Amino acid sequence: MAGSGSTVSGSAFDRNATIQWLVAGVTLVMVTLPLIPIFYQAFLDKPLYYPDAVLTVENFTTLFAEAEFRTVILNTIYFATMMTLVAQSIGIGCAILIGRTDLPGRSVFGEILLWPLFISHLVLAFGWFLMFGPAGYITLAVQGVIGTQPWNLYSLTGMAVVAGLAQAPLAYLYCIASASSVDASLEDAARSAGAGTWTVLWRITLPLMRPAIIYATIMNFVVSLEILSIPLVFGGPAQIEVFTTYLYNRVFRTSTPAYGLVAAASFFMLALVMVLIALQGRLMKDRGRFVTVGGKATRPRAFPLGKWRWVAFVLMTLYVGFAIIAVIGGLALRSVVSLLSPLLPIWDLFTWENYQIIVEYPVYLRSIFNTIQISIAAGLIGTAFVALVVLVSTRSPFRFSRQLEYIAMAPRAVPGIIAGIGILYAAAMFGPLGWLRNTIWILVAAYVMRYIPAGFGAIAPALGQISQDLDRGARTVGADWWRTSRSIMLPLIKPALFSCFSLIFILCFKEYVTAVFLFAPGSEVIGTTMLQFWQNGDNGPVSALATVQVGLTFLFVYLARRLFGARIYG
């Protein structure tokens, strides 16, 4: 059986089964590792590394008895609901305007709308603070004209609007394909019955987009529960707390972290997210009812906007200009001036000092190099591991292949802040993991676990397009499952592997929430360094570091597209 490679020296060793069970076991450990310590700590009266800790439910009774936590719940529900409404309204509107109308400049708008997806919420929060905060450049400029402060971002509504504007591109991304592929014959039938443009959009197009809208709505609501930076930047000064800032403050802003309360609150938040993910699956169960694209080719016809064409163009320009370009551009501008104010000429304030500080302070440079190393390592390890998971779960006779796929997708329900806390507890609870603490490798492990679902979504569709006749043909000439996977499947999905690496790299490069609980001196990343220096009021160097991160991100995206043709949208 030399060709199969399934036995060694006549023994009963089966390398296929060994690899499959090993991949399944590692996946299960990676996914459950952050969750077990949180669950355990939630029921202990002391930190889990204390030998005399005993089981109790006191953490939950104390948590829900706190009037402060009840306020946090109400704040979180309001923030999440308002953010989702703003994000979905703008994202769906942009998807319809770009995907189904004769809006001028559709392709340009469509490209710019995706920019925020490559940038962390932390960077966007700093940009909003610099341009639209109480002393922001645009705020002061408008205030100088109307004589009063035009808006207040230091409120639940204010930060929900900021988060909604930042998340609208995600709704757009999920809805644009659906909007562009609606069967034109259905809309033509409605028009022939006398329906006008708006009636067709409301009665035909939007209902057929329902699966994408539902998916985007649930995803944005889940994202709203794990956003840390925007509530921290705008809610902190006003002493407004949501779930994420509640957890952050109980760990970093108290002399003795309340580990039991933090774990209980984390468990509650995790349960809520899992319910939402389950609800998403239930709502998407009958999505076959909305299929309109079959074997017969159709070409959707753009809706003529008529006299509203240029009104839509102006509205789109305002959104893109103020919510994306001004926010990112404001950071770049602040990085090269000593002070950003509409009351003073910018050219008189020009300086390279902020970038010189980055070069001179080791922590700044170290955070940049650490972020690059972590992103590359997590991208390579994550891509290799996810490829194995996809092969075992979709193209192998492994008896638990379906269950493996479910396990691999489970981290979708684990917010970054929960993953960070869980892995922090795991490193304290399990002795063999102690060596990971205070190193960049604990961040690599955390990131790989978090982004298994994203990588799975990049590889699985490509593998699904490859006929299983190739598998059967390879086996007829003596190749076993592993030889077939290694020699045939992996080379054929090479473009998808590049896309997977690029996607994981970008997600890791902008990640900061998970790292907040795991970094130590020497293992800082860009996000944690920006957060620390922003809290010290160093807006200039923070803007310069944020600009470096944005610049490196866009450079990577450009190279990944041009050199490898990678898709980086998940």
Q: Are 525 and 444 in contact (CB under 8 A)?
A: no
Confidence tier at 534 by pLDDT (50, 70, 90): confident
User: In this predicted model, what pLDDT tens digit does every residue of 477-532 receive, in sequence order?
Assistant: 777 888 888 888 888 888 889 989 999 999 999 998 888 888 888 889 999 898 88
Q: What is the pLDDT of residues 442-460, one digit of tens each?
A: 999 999 999 999 888 888 8
**pLDDT over 60 (residue 153):** yes
pLDDT value for 241:
92
Confidence (pLDDT) at 343? 82
Q: What average pLDDT does this structure show over 465-474?
A: 77
Bigger pLDDT: 462 or 257? 462
CA angle in degrees (0–180, nearest 5) for 81-83-84: 65
Cβ(191)–Cβ(301) below 8 Å: no
Range with top average pLDDT, 143-152, 206-215, 409-418: 143-152
| Res. 86: pLDDT tops 90 | yes
What mean pLDDT, rounded, does the chain reach? 84
* Overall residue count recorded for the chain in this entry: 570
Percent of the chain with pLDDT over 90: 29
Q: What is the pLDDT of residue 448?
A: 94
Binned at pLDDT 50, 70 and 90, residue 83 comes out as: very high
Helix segments in 49-155, DSSP class H: 58-65, 67-100, 106-112, 121-132, 137-146
Q: Are 522 and 441 in contact (CB under 8 A)?
A: no
The predicted-structure confidence for 373-406, as pLDDT tens digits, reads as follows: 999 999 999 999 999 999 999 888 888 988 998 8
For residue 44, the cross-strand partners are 55
Mean pLDDT across 330-352: 88
pLDDT of amino acid 167: 92
Residue 293 has pLDDT above 60, yes or no: no
Angle made by CA atoms 313, 319, 320, in degrees to the nearest 5: 85
Q: Which of 60-69, 81-90, 269-278, 378-387 has the lowest mean pLDDT?
A: 269-278
pLDDT for 301 equals 66
Whose tokens are 């390890």? That residue is 381
* Residue bearing the bigger pLDDT, 375 or 259: 375
pLDDT in tens, 536-553: 888 888 899 999 999 999
Instruction: Report pTM.
Output: 0.85
Query: Residue 125: pLDDT above 50?
Result: yes
CA 301 to chain centre: 33
The per-residue pLDDT for 100 is 78
The string over 183-215, giving b where at least 16 C-beta atoms fall within 10 Å of a residue's C-beta and e elsewhere, is beebbeebeeeebebeebbeebbbebbebbbbb
pLDDT computed for residue 11 by the predictor? 46
CA distance 410 to 305: 43
Q: What is the pLDDT of residues 197-236, one digit of tens each?
A: 566 666 666 777 777 888 888 889 988 988 988 999 999 8
Distance CA 502, CA 102 (A): 33
pLDDT tens digits for range 166-196: 999 988 988 887 777 655 555 556 556 555 5
Residues 515 and 443: beta-carbon distance below 8 Å: yes
Is the per-residue pLDDT at 297 higher than 60? no
Confidence of residue 291 (pLDDT cuts 50, 70, 90): very low
Residue 1: predicted pLDDT: 39
Q: Would you identify the CATH topology of the domain 15-39+352-570?
A: MetI-like fold (1.10.3720)
* Least confident stretch, 43-52, 61-70, 230-239, 319-328: 43-52
- The residue-averaged pLDDT of 322-334 equals 92
